[in-house]
């Protein structure tokens, strides 16, 4: 079954994360980036794309060629991915000394169809990138690009406490960044819709006027029963595949 990225982005990242847990395909404390990686533009809608990974250095000058020399190859390799790229940079400098990206890089990535950019390093040109409408995630901001240059492309990187491999499916928004296992990715949106519906039972009760502990307990029990049944359905489907 095809993976509908547009449908996945109808849900926020916490909902996607909660839904993935139902499949019991990985431990609940894995598969998402830690609090060091934050949305540069939290007002933007969720985005999803396939990891185009790279490593970056800014502290030491590149030995030869210009700083954008690898950018040509990087965008050319977007074609190796099954859908829009999510550019994922690991900043190799520790601590980071300069920005991973700015207006030129983000304009390039957007022009070549990328959904967004995630880096373990800092950002810059934030006003310009915001006007582009290009989703970006970083650990802060630094005004200079230093000696920024790409070191490696399409290798496993470590960003926000997790390993990210080329081609991994990523979902990100103001709440953070989560990877979606490809083996369940085509099922996640449908399951997420059911998860949201189940949560709506409690929310409807709480927003419905007069509340009491007994009514709340009953609404919670109904919600948990719906979520439990959903989990059994998605896991049984996987077992039968």
The candidate with the shortest Cα–Cα distance to 22, out of 239, 238, 194, 232, is 232
Q: What are 87-119's pLDDT values in tens digits?
A: 999 999 989 999 999 999 999 999 999 999 999
Residues 93 and 175 occupy one common structural domain: yes
Q: Is residue 19 part of a domain?
A: no
Do 190 and 176 lie in one domain? The reply is no
- Helix (H) / strand (E) element for 131: namely helix 126-132
Beta-carbon count within 10 A of 44 CB: 17
pLDDT tens digits along 162-193: 999 999 999 999 999 999 999 999 999 999 99
Domain of 145, in residue numbers: 27-180
Instruction: Determine, yes or no, domain membership for 158.
Output: yes
Is 21 part of a structural domain of the chain?
Answer: no
| Together in a domain, 81 and 143 | yes
Claim to verify: residue 234 and residue 175 sit in the same structural domain: no
Residues 62 and 139 reside in one and the same domain: yes
The pLDDT of residue 240: 59
Looking at 162, 180, 198, the residue that finishes a domain is 180
- Note whether 46 and 69 are same-domain residues: yes
Q: Rounding to the nearest 10 degrees, give the CA dihedral for residues 6, 8, 12, 18.
A: 180
Residue that is last in its domain, among 180, 205, 230: 180
Quick one: 54 and 88 in the same domain?
A: yes
Q: What pLDDT digit, counting tens, does each position of 120-162 carry?
A: 999 999 999 999 999 999 999 999 998 888 999 999 999 999 9
Residues 176 and 190 grouped into a single domain: no
> For 122-151, b where at least 16 C-beta lie within 10 A, e where not — what string?
bbbbbeebbebebbbbbbeebeebbebbbe
Q: How many domains does the chain have?
A: 2
Q: CB–CB of 45/173 below 8 Å?
A: yes
Helix count (H) and strand count (E) of the chain? 7, 10
Q: Is residue 4 part of a domain?
A: no
- 172 domain-assigned: yes
Structural domain includes residue 92: yes
> Are residues 154 and 56 part of one domain?
yes
Task: Determine, yes or no, domain membership for 55.
Answer: yes
82 neighbors 50 (Cβ within 8 angstroms): yes
**Does 66 share its domain with 133?**
yes
pTM of the shown model: 0.94
pLDDT in tens, 49-80: 999 999 999 988 876 655 566 899 999 999 99
Nearest to 86 by CA among 169, 184, 16, 160: 169
DSSP string, 36-75: TSEES-TTSPPEEEEEEEEEEE-SS--SSS-TTHHHHHHH
Report the run of H or E that residue 158 belongs to, with start and end: strand 157-159
- Say yes or no: 127 and 78 in one domain: yes
CA distance 53 to 155: 6
Q: Write the CATH number for 55.
A: 3.50.30.40
Count of CB atoms situated within 10 Å of the CB of 62: 15
Do 75 and 108 meet the contact criterion of CB atoms below 8 Å apart?
Answer: yes
> Does residue 76 sit within a domain?
yes
How far, in Å, CA of 118 to CA of 180, rounded?
A: 16
């Amino acid at each position: 079954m095809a993976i509908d990225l547009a449908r996945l982005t109808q849900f926020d990242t916490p909902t996607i994360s909660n839904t993935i847990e139902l499949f019991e395909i990985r431990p609940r404390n894995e598969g998402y980036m830690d609090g060091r990686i934050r949305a540069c533009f939290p007002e933007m809608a969720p985005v999803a794309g396939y990891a185009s990974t790279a490593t970056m250095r800014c502290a030491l000058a590149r030995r030869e060629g210009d700083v954008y020399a690898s950018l040509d190859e990087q965008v050319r390799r977007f074609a190796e991915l099954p859908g829009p790229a999510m550019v994922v940079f690991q900043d190799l400098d520790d601590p980071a000394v300069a920005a991973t990206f700015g207006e030129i890089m983000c304009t390039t990535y957007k022009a070549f169809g990328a959904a967004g950019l995630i880096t373990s390093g800092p950002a810059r040109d934030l006003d310009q990138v915001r006007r582009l409408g290009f989703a970006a995630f970083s650990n802060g901001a630094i005004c200079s690009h230093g000696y920024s240059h790409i070191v490696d492309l399409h290798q496993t990187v470590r960003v926000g406490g997790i390993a990210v491999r080329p081609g991994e499916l990523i979902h990100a928004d103001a709440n953070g960044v989560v990877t979606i296992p490809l083996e369940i990715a085509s099922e996640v949106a449908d399951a997420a819709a059911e998860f949201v519906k189940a949560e709506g039972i409690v929310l409807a009760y709480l927003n419905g006027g007069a509340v009491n502990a007994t009514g709340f307990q009953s609404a919670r029990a109904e919600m948990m029963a719906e979520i439990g049944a959903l989990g059994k359905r998605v896991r049984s489907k996987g077992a039968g595949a």
